[in-house]
Structures are given as C-alpha cells and as structure tokens.
C-alpha cells in the first residue's frame, strides 16, 4: 500500500472507493469507518484518509473480516411498509428492512445498502444496492436528487402555508424547503382526504414531518413514490423487484458521470 499523492494508477485504488465497491456504503460513510479506526490494511489500522491500495496484494479487513469486492452489482426497488426500521439491527427488536426483505425475496440481502432512509412510520420506495459509487451520487447533498412523496394531512393547506413550505421552514437550526407542492386525489374513496404530492431535493432527517409540524399541521401518512428517475409504480407494500437496466442507467446519468464521480446538477 502507499499514500495517496495523486491520481490512481492502473493497479491501485483509493481506499474509500474500494470499500464502497465492496458494499460497505457510500464513500462518505467509508471515510467515517476509516476515521473511526475500523479498517485494517495488512494487519495494521489505517490512519491515512487518502490511502491507496492494490486489491491484488493488499489485505483489507473490517471488524476482523477480510473485505472483498462484490463482482456483480445489484439494484433493488422495495416498497417499504409502515413500521419497518431502515437499519441493519434494532435494539428494540422491531422488524428491520433486511429481515423484511429476506422474507419477501427469500434470500439474505445484507450485502446491499439502502439509499437514503424512510422513518418507522413512513412507507414507499426504498432503493438498495452494493454500488458504492451510486450510493454516494444519490445521497450526497451536493447532487440534489429529486424525491417525490405523497403526504396525507389533517386539513387542506392554506395558500400562505404552501408558500411557507416552499420559501423554507426553520427547524432545529436548519432551513428546510419543499421544491414543489401539488394537491392530489389518489382515487375516488380518498377525495374527502387531504393528500399532497411534495418534491424534495434535500434529505434531512424527518424533513417532511418537521416542516408540517412547524406549521402545526398533523401528518397522517407519508409515502415516497419516486427516487431520482425510479418510480414506485404498481409495486405493492412489501414487494421487491430488481431495477431494469434502463432505470439503473438513468440513475447513473442523474447522479454521476461514467467514471463514477459525482457531478453537481448545476454543471
């Protein structure tokens, strides 16, 4: 192994990118694992964030186990039901996304990482993949990936409330914005209910709930129906399906270029 002082050679790769390709998460998450001292190279803890390694000769370990690149990338769309924790393990013993996916698909998918989160009481589209570069491109705040949600609230929004959501809501020291809000009727039985379609380009924790709560508006349900170019469509709650080649290509074109490096939407 060697320190990173320039571009990668044909034999070496930057450590955080290698870890991402092995399915340990986005490059940002892998940087955190390195900083926390969880990554070992040839038996020694890694201390240099810019470390370059040769996958053919260097042994990389995470928590005592050798890390190997996953040869075949996988991309899944999952319609997360309510009361599923988007996490690997839950101290309270609640159903996790990985246990639910194993039940739905009949196989262990713990080698995949979820893209973004949905809270316990939210439902809808969740993407999972072992493509670390794509995870980075779809979750880094810099790239402003569009997410679309259907939100049920207790009453019809006043024009000034919609304007406030679009202009920005101050919550817990953050400024939270909705990119667009449209009133919708999902079907005849729900015409007396108050549903809105909300576009977000941010990914703050519990963002929609915090925004509506700041206006003293109670949220009944939240369902994500689109992430980037992928739509929930007719996928039923609890169902999982592989993304099509066209969907994967569209996600990659949205988030990063053909060398796997993210690009800003303004460029």
3 state SS of 166: helix
Angle of CA points 74, 204, 211, to nearest 5°: 135
Q: Which of 135, 124, 184, 120 is nearest to 156 (CA)?
A: 184
Query: In this structure, are residues 204 and 168 in contact, taking their beta carbons and an 8 Å threshold?
Result: no
Tokens of 126: 């969740």
CA-closest candidate to residue 256, choices 134, 115, 116: 134
CB of 193 closer than 8 Å to CB of 152: yes
CB 34 within 8 A of CB 12: no
DSSP H or E segment with residue 78:
strand 75-80
**Residue of 119, 131, 167, 170 with catalytic role:** 119
Active site residue 119: yes
Q: What is the 3-state secondary structure (H, E, C) of 80-132?
A: ECCCCECCCCCCCCCCEHHHHHHHHHCCCCCCCEEECCCCCCCEEEEEEECCH
Handedness of CA 65, 66, 72, 75 (dihedral sign): positive
Structure tokens at 69: 């690149």
- Active-site amino acid positions: 119
């Amino acid at each position: 192994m060697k320190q990173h002082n320039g571009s990668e050679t044909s034999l070496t790769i930057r450590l955080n990118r290698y870890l991402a390709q092995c399915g340990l998460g986005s490059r940002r998450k892998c940087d955190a694992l390195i900083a926390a001292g969880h990554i070992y190279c040839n038996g020694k803890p890694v201390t240099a964030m810019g470390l370059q390694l040769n996958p053919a000769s260097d042994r990389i370990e995470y928590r005592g186990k050798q890390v190997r690149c996953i040869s075949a990338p996988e991309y899944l769309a999952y319609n997360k039901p309510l009361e599923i924790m988007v996490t690997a393990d839950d101290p309270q013993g609640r159903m996790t996304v990985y246990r639910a996916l194993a039940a739905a698909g009949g196989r262990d998918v713990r080698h995949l990482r979820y893209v973004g989160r949905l809270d316990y009481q939210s439902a809808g589209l969740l993407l999972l993949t072992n493509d670390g570069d794509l995870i980075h491109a779809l979750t880094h705040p810099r790239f402003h990936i569009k997410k679309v949600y259907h939100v049920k609230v207790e009453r019809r929004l006043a024009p000034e409330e919609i304007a406030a959501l679009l202009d920005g809501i101050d919550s817990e020291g953050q400024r939270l914005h909705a990119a667009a809000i449209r009133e919708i009727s999902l079907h005849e039985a729900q015409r007396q209910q108050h549903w809105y379609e909300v576009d977000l380009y941010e990914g703050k924790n519990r963002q929609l709930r915090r925004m509506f709560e700041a206006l003293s508006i109670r949220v009944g349900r939240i369902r994500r129906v689109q992430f980037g170019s992928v739509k929930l469509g007719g996928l039923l709650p609890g169902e999982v399906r592989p993304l099509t080649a066209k969907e994967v290509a569209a996600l990659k074109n949205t988030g990063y270029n053909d060398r796997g490096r993210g690009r800003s939407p303004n460029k």
